[in-house]
Structure 1
Amino acid sequence: MRNILKTSVALLALAIATPSMAQEKVLGLAAIDLQNSFFVRMKEAGDVATSDYGVKATWQSAEGSLEKQVGIIENFINQGVSAILIDPIDKNAVVPVIQKATAAGIPVITMGNKVEAGENYSTLYPDYENMSMVARAIGASLGGEGEVALLVGSRGNFVSDTREKGFLDTLAKEYPKIKVVGIEPTNWDAAKATNAAQTWLTTYPDLKAIACISDSLCLAADSVASTMGTDLIYGGYDGDAEMKELIDSGKMVIDVLTGAYRVGYWNIAVAARLANGETGMPKDLYMPTYFITSDATAEKLKAAGVTFDYISTEKAAVEAKNYTEQLGPKLPASAMTAGK
C-alpha cells in the first residue's frame, strides 16, 4: 500500500509539473481549401511553426464553400480552441461568427484579409501597391497598348478584390490604351483558370498578356497557351518556385513573393503568440514582400520607364524558406509587423 501511495504521489507531481493535453494551446485553422499548391505549402510550413512555438494546429478545408467554412469556425468555438485562423471566402459573411468567437474569448486572425469584425487581427500584404506594379510591368512590356485578361480568386475575398482593384486602377490611369478583355473568378482553382484561358485565347486572338492574383492560375494559363502555340506574357503574385522558368525566360515579367511557406509560418506564429497571451501586436499586421524578375527584364522595364527594387529567382528561393529565421519564436513581436 505504501508503494502504491508513493507511486500515486509521484504521478501527481509529474502531472503538476508537466502541462496536460488539455492545457496545450490548440489553433483551429479554417482554410479556403487544402488542395491548391499554395495552401499545401502553407500547411507544411505552418506545421513547422507549431513545432517551433510548441502548439498544435487543426487544419480544416472549407473546399470553397462559405457555408462549410462558417460551420468549421462554429465547431472550433464549441471546442474552445486557443485561437482561430480564417482565410475568409467572403470577408463580410464571416463577421458574425468572428464576433461570436471573440465574445467567447478566442483570438481570431483573418489571414490575408482586412475584416472589420471588431477585435480580430488581420494579417495583410501591401496588395494594392504590389498589383499596381504588376500592371505597370505588363503595361510597359506591351508598349502601352494591347489586350490583356485577369484571373482572380473569388468575389468578396479581400486579397482577390484588392489585387484586382490595384491592377485595374493602374491600367486605367497609366495605360488607357490597354484593353482588359476578361476578368474571371476562379476560386483559386487551376481547372477554372484553364477553362478561362482557353475561352480567351479562342475569343481574343490578339490577347497579349494574362495577369493573375495567384501564381498557380498563371501556370495553368501558360499551359493552355503553350498547347495552343500562343506567346503571352504574364504578371503574377505568390513567388511560387514553379514560376522560375517563366521569370528567367522573360515570359513572366514580374512576380510578387509572399511565399506560401512564409505565409503559413507567419500566420501560425501570430496565432501562437496571441494564444500564449502576447500583447502589443497591432490589429493589422503586414508581412514584407519582394518583387521578382530577371535582370534582363528589369533592364527592359527600366528603358520603358518602370523601375523597382527586385530579387532574382535564386534569391527568392532562399527567402521563400527562410521563415524560421525571419519569424521564429526567438524574435520580438515587431518581427510579425515588419512589412509596413
Structure 2
Amino acid sequence: MPDQPLLQPFDLGALRLPNRVVMAPLTRARATNPGLLPTELHAAYYAQRATAGLIVSEGVWVSERAVAFPHVPGLFTEEQTVAWRRVTGLVRALGGRIVAQLWHAGSASPGEMTGAEIAGFVKEYATAAARARRAGFDGVEIAANGVYPLARFLNARLNSRTDAYGPDGGRPLLDVVDAVCGAWDDGTRRVGVRLSPYWSRHDDPRAGEAYPWMPDEAALSRYDEVVTALSGRPLAYLHLRGPAPLSGPDEAAFARYRRLYDGPLIANHGFGRESGNALVRAGTADAVSYARHFIANPDLVTRLALGHDLAAGDPALHYEGGARGYVDHPAWTPAPLPLAG
C-alpha cells in the first residue's frame, strides 16, 4: 500500500519482512514454572502476533546469574531450548519471523566485575545465541538498554574503571556482539542490537538515584562512538529506543544515529500509525517497533492497514494474570452487514 510505508516489505539482514511493523520486546512474566520455561500460553501469545513483520521476543535470560525478575523465561538450559521450539515452530508455521532478545539483568556493576568475569559474561551471550539457533529462532537481539549491565558500562557516571573497560565503555558490548555473531556463524546477518541512549532515571522509577543517567551531550557522545563501531559489524539491524515522547516521537533523535549507522534501523518509543509511517517515509528509519500497542492488539498490522482504532490493555495485567490480559485480546472484526430485506 503506497500510502503506508509501514506496510511495504523490507530486507532486514537475512530476513525478508512482509511489512515494517515490528513487535518490540515485552516482558510479560508468564513463565511461572520452576524451570522458567515458555509454555503453551507463550506459544499462543506469539502465534497471535505472527503477522508482525518481525517479532522480537521478551528478554530471555542468558544464564542463571542473569536472572533478576521472577517468571521471565530463560534460554540457558536444554529444557528451555526445547520448549522454545514450540513457540518458534508455531510462529513460522503462520508465516512469521521471530528473534530472541538475549538479556542479562544481573546486579553486578562495572566496577565489581573482574576481567575474567567479563569474559565469562561474554561467553554466556554466545552460548545463549547458539541455543537460540537450535531453538528455531530466526536470529537474536542483544539487549544493551535500560539499567542493565551492558548499558551500565556505557554510563560514565557508573563506570569509573581505569582499565580497558572504563574509558572505552563500549568494549563489553562490542565483545558480546563479536562473540554472538561468531556463535551464529552461518554467514548471514542474524544479530541485532537494542540501545537506549536517551534512557533516564525517569524512565524507570525503580531505578531512582541508583541510576544517575540523564542523556546530556557527554553521555550521548559515548553512544555515538559505539554506534559508529557497530556500523562496522555484520549486524542485521540496530534497534533504537528514542527519548520520552512528550509531544510525539523525536525524529531528530533517530536522525542522529541514522547518520552514524549504515545498516537497517528500527525506531521505537511512542509511535502510532501516522508517526510511524512518517518516519519510514522520510527515510529516518527502516522499520518501527511497537510495544504497548501489541499487548491489546494481536492484529496490530491489520488495524494499522485498515485505519481502525487501537484497543487499550489493562496495565494491571501486564506482568501477571496468566491467560487473562495475555492471550484473550480479541482481533478486530467488522460490524455485521444488515440482513437483506
Q: TM-score range by the shorter chain?
A: under 0.3
TM-score (norm: length of structure 2): 0.26
Larger radius of gyration: 1
